[in-house]
Amino acid sequence: MSAPSEDNTAAHAQLASQFFGDLLESIIVDVASECHRIARLGLDQNLEDEEEELKLSTQARVRAADPGNSGEANSKYVVDIFGQTHPPVANEVFECMNCRRSIMAGRFAPHLEKCMGKGRKASLKAMRSSTAAQNRHSRAALLGYSPYSNSNGTTRLSNGSTSIAGDELSNGTCDEP
């Protein structure tokens, strides 16, 4: 190229500007063409529905966070839709299908474990629980239980002491929603 002079610089700048303009237009037309195809062939999703749903969900969360809202009454002392109340530990009694003894419903699982020979003595159980818990961590699972028995197998006495769902976490803290 010849030595840069004002004319050359201006011409280069104009060329560069033209190339840029062409590239930009090409990109824009690419996008426009794709969107045009999607729109004309009816391939796009219903975006309005999605936005509507998100709006409803945000409103719902605001309302749920309002402490005045009793919708999520956490207590086990509510009256159900049939007008019934139930004790925290299920007290229906039935026959164990393994050993024929009469067992209370809320105690059935720990009984069955020993009855089927799947459980072990309490001390061994505590060790296995922690191993199982470690395995469970690697398996990545969410555990769920009833709030009136803690996880290492010792059960609470059914002396009517109150227990509210969500209170009984293994470290004693209370998780609020």
Partner 1 sequence: MSSSSSAAATAACCRHLASFLSSAGTSPFDLPSPSSSAVRFCSSCNAAGPRLYACLSCPSVRCHLHRNHHNDHLIAVDILRGELFCSACSDQVYHPDFDSHLILSLGTPPTPFADLGRRKRRKVEYRPWAPAEAELAAITSGSTVINPTKEESGGFDHPKGLRGLNNLGNTCFMNSVLQALLHTPPLRNFFLSDRHNRFACQRKNGVVFGNDSGNGKGRSSCLACDLDEIYSAVFSGERAPFSPAKFLYSWWQHAANLASYEQQDAHEFFISILDGIHERIEKDHGRPQSLGNGDCCIAHRVFSGSLRSDVMCMACGFTSTTYDPCLDISLDLEPHPCAPTKATSSKSHRPCNGEVESALSGQGSAIPTLMGCLDRFTRPERLGSDQKLFCQQCQMSQESLKQMSLRKLPLVSCFHIKRFEHSSTRKMSRKIDRYLHFPFSLDMTPYLSSTILRRRFGNRVLPVDGEEPDQNEPSSKLELFAVITHHGKLDAGHYVTYLRLSNRWYKCDDAWITQVNENIVRAAQGYLMFYVQKMFCYKASDKMATSS
Q: Which of residues 2-21 bind partner 1 (CB under 8 A)?
A: none
H or E segment and range at residue 93: strand 93-95
β-partners of residue 102 are 95
Query: Does residue 23 bind partner 1 (CB under 8 A)?
Result: yes
CA distances (Å), 16 to each of 21, 56, 62, 65, 97, in order?
8, 50, 54, 57, 86
Binding of residue 97 to partner 1 (CB under 8 A): yes
Give, as ranges, the residues between 106 and 145 that touch partner 1 (CB under 8 A): 106-110, 112-113, 116, 118-119, 129, 132-133, 136-145
- Provide the minimum distance between the beta carbon of 35 and partner 1 in the complex, in angstroms, as a whole number: 10
Tell me which amino acid residue 70 is.
S
8 Å CB contact between 120 and 128: yes
Q: How large is the C-alpha radius of gyration of the chain?
A: 34
Between 68 and 83, CB nearer to partner 1: 83
Contact with partner 1 (CB under 8 A): which of 8, 17, 58, 162? 58
From residue 63, give the alpha-carbon distance in Å to each of 49, 58, 67, 72, 174.
21, 9, 9, 11, 22
Among 16, 105, 124, 127, binds partner 1 (CB under 8 A): 105
Minimum CB separation from partner 1 for residue 37, in Å? 5
CB of 74 to partner 1, least distance (A): 9
90 near partner 1 (CB under 8 A): yes
